[in-house]
Structure 1
Amino acid sequence: MATYAELKAQAEALLLQAEQVRKQELTNVILGIKATMKEHGITLEDLGAAARKAGARAKAPAKFKGPNGETWSGGPGRKPEWVRALQAEGKNIENYRI
C-alpha cells in the first residue's frame, strides 16, 4: 500500500503532466483557429476584436456620483476612498446614486 507522501507526489506529478498536455492542446487549437481564419480570410475585426483589446473588460456604468464629481459603478472589490469617507461620516451611499 502506498503512503500518503507517495500518493501526494504522484498526484503532483499528474497535475504537472496534465498542465503540460493542456498547454500543448491549447497551442494546437490556436494554430487550427489561425489556419481556418487564414483559409477563409477572417480577420480579428470580423470577430469584433477591434471593439476592445484582448483581456480588457467592458467598464461598468457609474451608479454613484460623489460630492466632487467622482464616480463609482458599485461593483465588487474595494470601495473608492470617497465612498469610504462618506460612510465613515455616517452618510448613506444611496443618497449619491445617479
Structure 2
Amino acid sequence: MTTTYAELKKQIAELEQAANAARKAETAEAISKIQSIMNDYGLTVADIDSKKSRSVKSRTTVPVQFVNPETNETWTGRGRAPRWLDGKDRERYRIKS
C-alpha cells in the first residue's frame, strides 16, 4: 500500500500545525517562567540587556619595528615574520628610535 503525494502533503500540513501549536504552548510556558524569575529577583529587561553587552576593546596600532630598505616593506614584529627577513639578522633591519 503506497501513500500518494496528496496524502503526504496533507500529513505534512497536519504536522506543521501540530508543531506550531506545540511551539506556542512551550513559548508561553517559557515566558511565564522567565517572568516569574524576573519578579522573584526584581529584574527588568534593562538589567538583562546590560549584562550581555561587553565593552569592545579598541584596536591600537602597533608601531613598525622593522623595515626593508630595498622595498620599504615594514613589519611590526608581531605575527609571522615576512619572507624578506628569512635567514637574516633581524637587528640589521630594526628601526632605531
Q: TM-score, normalised by structure 1?
A: 0.47
Which structure has the larger Rg? Answer: 2
Q: TM-score, normalised by structure 2?
A: 0.47
